[in-house]
Amino acid sequence: MSTTNDYIPAMGRNWLLPLYDPFTQLVGARSLHRHLVAQAAIGPDHDVLDVGTGTGNVALTVARRHPAATVNGLDPDPLALARAELKADRAGLPVRWVRGFGGDLPFEGASFDRVLTALALHHLDGPAQVTALAEIRRVLRPGGSLHIVDFGGEHEHNPLRRNRRLAANSGDAIPQRLREAGFTDVAETGHRSVLGSRCTFFKAAG
């Protein structure tokens, strides 16, 4: 069995995965998740997809707040998905967990009313982001929308700018990639700080 992943694990290394949830809670990522879910304005009959779900925090937040919605969480990491499934089972929340990659979503076109992704886009380089965003647009229904929070936007004093991929999300990079993928009505809707770095919220119409 290969020990090399074709994806980046949530904490960078498989053995660090048990630290992921305590770490995200410590740095305040849960508040980002709640804000993102509120921004999405999810309806009771909506089909929702969380891309890059990791250990399932965004998908579980949707399931708790919108019990009549149908919720799916997608991630390439089987270890993270197993942890997400365990959390959902313990909480009695009906989330469907799917292993897959953002650049090749295993869903029919026009399957979802809302797609959310939190702190996952920066794991991809620019061209891979455009490919994943185009796939998201493909699976959105007419009138559907995409909601993103990730490191990005204007942030002059950002210690994470030394990371090549995070720095590549600066300024108007994410909105430009959204438009390149075919999205319309692209908007930056707000920002919050995590680890001294700016996390920016975006929304776009499919």
pLDDT, tens digit, 9 for 90 and up, residues 135-145: 999 999 999 99
Whether residue 177 lies inside any domain: the answer is yes
- On the question of pLDDT at 158 being above 60, the answer is no
Structural domain contains residue 150: yes
Confirm whether 9 is domain-assigned: no
Query: Does the pLDDT of residue 11 top 70, yes or no?
Result: no
pLDDT level of residue 29 (50, 70, 90 thresholds): confident
- Is residue 135, in this structure, part of any structural domain at all? yes
Q: Which residues contact 73 (CB under 8 A, 6 or more apart)?
A: 49, 50, 53, 56, 58, 59, 81, 84, 95, 96, 97, 98
Task: Point out the least confidently predicted range of 164-168, 190-194, 196-200.
Answer: 164-168
Higher pLDDT, 68 or 123: 68
115's CB contacts (< 8 A; 6+ apart) are 48, 49, 50, 51, 136, 139, 140, 144, 145, 146, 147
Q: What is the mean pLDDT of residues 57-63?
A: 98
Q: What mean pLDDT value characterizes the chain?
A: 87
Better pLDDT: 28 or 192: 192
Question: For position 183, what pLDDT does the model report?
Answer: 98
**Residue 8, in any domain of the structure:** no
Do the beta carbons of residue 127 and residue 95 sit within 8 Å? no
All residues at 6 or more sequence positions from 158 whose CB lies less than 8 Å from its CB, including other chains: 166, 170, 196, 197, 198
Does residue 30 sit within a domain? yes
Residue predicted with more confidence, 87 or 199: 87
Residue 147 domain boundaries: 14-205
Q: Does any domain span residue 98?
A: yes
Minimal CA–CA distance to 153: which of 194, 100, 93?
A: 194
Confidence band of 3 (pLDDT split at 50, 70, 90) = very low
Average pLDDT for residues 23-40, to the nearest whole number? Answer: 86
Lowest mean pLDDT among 52-61, 81-90, 121-130: 121-130
Residue 1: predicted pLDDT = 27
Domains contained in the chain, number: 1
Give me the CATH number covering residue 59. Answer: 3.40.50.150
DSSP 143-178: EEEEEEEEE-B--SS-GGGGSHHHHTTBTTHHHHHH
Residue 39 domain-assigned (yes or no): yes
